[in-house]
Amino acid sequence: MSSKTGPMVKRLVRQYLMPYTGQLVLAVFFMVLAASMTAAFATIIEPVMDKVLVAGNVSAVWGLGFGIFIIFFIRGGAGYIETVLMNKIGQSIVANIQNQMFSQFLDLDLKFFHENPSGQLISRVINDVNALRTAVTSCLTGIGKSLVTLVLLIGVMFYQDWVLALASLTIFPLAAFVVAKIGKKLRKVSGDIQEGQAQLSDRLSQIFQGIRLVKAYGMEMHEREVAGNSIERVKKSIMKSVRTANLSGPFNETLVGLVVFGIIVYGGYQVAAGETTAGELLSFITAFSMSYEPMKKLARLNNTLQMGLGAAERVFEMIDETAEVSDQDNAQDISLEQPKIELQNVSFAYEDEEKKALNDVSIEIPAGKVTALVGRSGSGKTTIMNLIPRFFDAKKGAVVIGDHEIKDFTLKSLRSNIALVSQDITIFDDTVWANIGYGREGAYQDEIIKAAIGAEADEFIRELPQGYDTRLGEDGVKLSGGQRQRISIARAILRDAPILLLDEATSALDNEAERAIQETLNQIQKGRTTLVIAHRLSTVQQADQIIVMEEGRVAEQGKHDDLMEKDGVYARMYNAGLND
């Protein structure tokens, strides 16, 4: 047993199995009952042989025959009940782990998702947990039953001939040693299998999401080769596990063959010498042969357990991840109305990047006003916007809303006061109702329709096959870029939050649609603290304040006309055509 096996098994038992103690006790009762019937069958073979087959006592036939029938009837019923109960416990345990794992993902910050591709995370939740599911349900159902059955059958063997039983059991330590060695190898192979499946899942996810690009560039053959290589690696890992897991078979069969050979030779001489009866020998052979089956099951279950523990390592690794951005102990819920937002000497650098995205930035976003962030790519605009809802935390300095640093607020309440429209639009494969309603939980249909009208989306929505009941496909594949953007804007209108963050909110719209949407945005910006990121400077000329970012610093700040008069960075950008 590896150094990690004990703690992991203890964690599974303490954290996940203990809540089902009552059901477990009931299942164990039926498990012991079924195992006892197996031992009873081995015991009843002796009188069947000696009294009926050898002595010819016909009067005992009915009683012994009925006894065997009762044994099998009870064993079948008890085995069924025990199996159902154990599987229910096992499936509940794994469902709890899966829910906990997914819930943990939702609580982690954006940094975690930047470092772990979505395909690999999906594989952790599905493939890794399924491997753990197989291990937990199989082991709960099989290990206890096999152990109890094995112990009771060994008891029968000792009852019939303790010398022969001791001799027969010499194979067990040797078989256990082989099983342990194989299990150690399987643990490593299991990790390789899960990693390979995660990489395959990630690659397939990327291909399907980028299928338009794949076809446009004629890269089908390339993607077939890449995916094929991943599939081949998974196949090789699985075949390695099959070869390793089944190594114990030939070894154990040979050992058992030698023992049975010895039992028959020794027992034959004992019967011939009158030291034992044929029934006692047959009962011993029956008990031994039946004990071999649970012994084999235990070997297989150990293999399954080791494969599952290999997956469990990866599962618990994810469950134990901690978010860098989280609620402080004294965090309070907030409710805001037209708050001002300040960045006070804020510096920030992304992981593994030496260059700072923001360098000692201090700005004020006035309450109830529109502030625009402009600048070339990489100047720090999006980083500022990411800091306000605490997608990331500043490495230095503070972000203040109202009179409090945002770390003083709970994340849930902070974000409930913010509506975000991003250029990276997320549309779920769900109805229009659900996609717009995502902006505010529990919104009524008339509120959703009103938000859609405000976003200039109602008209095209009603032209969809099922109107608002139309499912929009994965990532809104059934919509144009402009339509997807309008759904996103409708979602923000529905949220009706005091802080509005617009990250290239009209980037996917044509000029005519942009003008219509801009009018809507101008309306919903009134009375809200609004921060706008725009590359087309024509969309922010009417902003109350324009902040020009350059290499993580504030280069200029003011209204459009004032900045044009300065003839600085903003004027050069405007004259270079970024106003189109």
At residue 401, the 3 state secondary structure works out as: strand
The answer to whether residue 218 sits within a structural domain is yes
Token pair of 239 as six digits: 């075949």
Whether residues 508 and 444 fall in one domain: no
The answer to whether residue 339 sits within a structural domain is yes
The shares of helix, strand and coil residues in the chain, as percent rounded to the nearest 5, are 65, 10, 25
Burial class (CB in 10 A: 0-12, 13-18, 19+), 475: middle
Whether residues 271 and 370 fall in one domain: no
pLDDT score recorded for residue 364 = 92
Burial class (CB in 10 A: 0-12, 13-18, 19+), 298: buried
The answer to whether residue 119 sits within a structural domain is yes
Q: CA of 165: how far to CAs of 41, 158, 260, in Å? A: 18, 5, 12
Task: Dump the DSSP string for 472-509.
Answer: --GGGTTS-HHHHHHHHHHHHHHH--SEEEEESTTTTS
CA 478 to chain centre: 28
CB atoms within 10 A of CB 140: 26
The Cα 271–Cα 264 span in angstroms is 10
Of 477, 496, 515, the residue that ends a domain is: 496
Whether residues 432 and 406 fall in one domain: no
The upper half-sphere exposure of residue 271, i.e. CA atoms within 13 Å in the direction of its Cβ, equals: 17
* Element at 346 (helix H, strand E): strand 341-348
The Cα 186–Cα 35 span in angstroms is 29
Nearest to 533, CA basis, from 386, 393, 399, 397: 386
Q: How many domains does the chain have?
A: 3
Task: Output the domain CATH number for residue 434.
Answer: 3.40.50.300
Domain encompassing residue 27: 5-319
Whether residues 484 and 565 fall in one domain: no
The answer to whether residue 57 sits within a structural domain is yes
Token pair of 394 as six digits: 């500043």
Whether residues 410 and 533 fall in one domain: yes
The answer to whether residue 422 sits within a structural domain is no
CB atoms within 10 A of CB 91: 14
The Cα 126–Cα 104 span in angstroms is 15
Of 286, 319, 352, the residue that ends a domain is: 319
Contact assessment for residue 579 and residue 536, using Cβ atoms and an 8 Å cutoff: yes
Nearest to 548, CA basis, from 356, 384, 406, 344: 384
Of 319, 352, 382, the residue that ends a domain is: 319
Q: What does pTM read for this prediction? A: 0.71
Angle separating helix axes 21-47 and 129-160, nearest 10 degrees: 40
The answer to whether residue 282 sits within a structural domain is yes
Contact assessment for residue 348 and residue 358, using Cβ atoms and an 8 Å cutoff: yes
Q: CA of 280: how far to CAs of 61, 167, 271, 449, in Å? A: 18, 17, 9, 84
The answer to whether residue 437 sits within a structural domain is yes
pLDDT score recorded for residue 174 = 67
Whether residues 33 and 64 fall in one domain: yes
Whether residues 198 and 271 fall in one domain: yes
The one-digit pLDDT tens for each residue of the chain (580 residues) are 455 667 777 888 788 888 888 888 888 888 888 878 877 777 777 666 666 556 566 666 677 778 778 888 888 888 888 888 888 888 888 888 888 888 888 888 888 887 887 777 887 888 788 777 777 777 766 676 777 777 777 787 777 777 777 766 666 666 666 666 776 676 677 677 777 777 777 777 777 766 766 776 677 787 788 778 888 887 888 787 777 766 666 766 676 677 777 777 777 777 777 777 777 777 777 777 777 677 767 766 776 777 777 778 888 888 888 888 888 888 888 877 778 899 999 998 887 667 788 899 999 999 889 999 998 888 888 899 989 988 888 889 999 998 889 998 898 888 888 888 887 788 888 889 988 988 888 889 999 999 998 888 898 999 989 999 988 887 787 888 778 888 888 988 888 889 999 887 766 566 666 676 777 777 788 888 999 988 778 778 888 899 998 888 999 999 988 888 888 888 888 887 655 4
pLDDT score recorded for residue 448 = 92
Whether residues 435 and 475 fall in one domain: yes
The Cα 515–Cα 513 span in angstroms is 5
Contact assessment for residue 507 and residue 539, using Cβ atoms and an 8 Å cutoff: no
Instruction: Beginning with the edge strand found earlier in the chain, give each strand of the sheet holding 370-374 in spatial order.
Output: 418-421, 499-503, 529-533, 370-374, 545-550, 553-558
Whether residues 433 and 387 fall in one domain: no
Whether residues 196 and 291 fall in one domain: yes
Whether residues 98 and 15 fall in one domain: yes
Whether residues 108 and 178 fall in one domain: yes
Q: What are phi and psi of 337, to 5 degrees?
A: -140, 115
Task: Output the domain CATH number for residue 176.
Answer: 1.20.1560.10
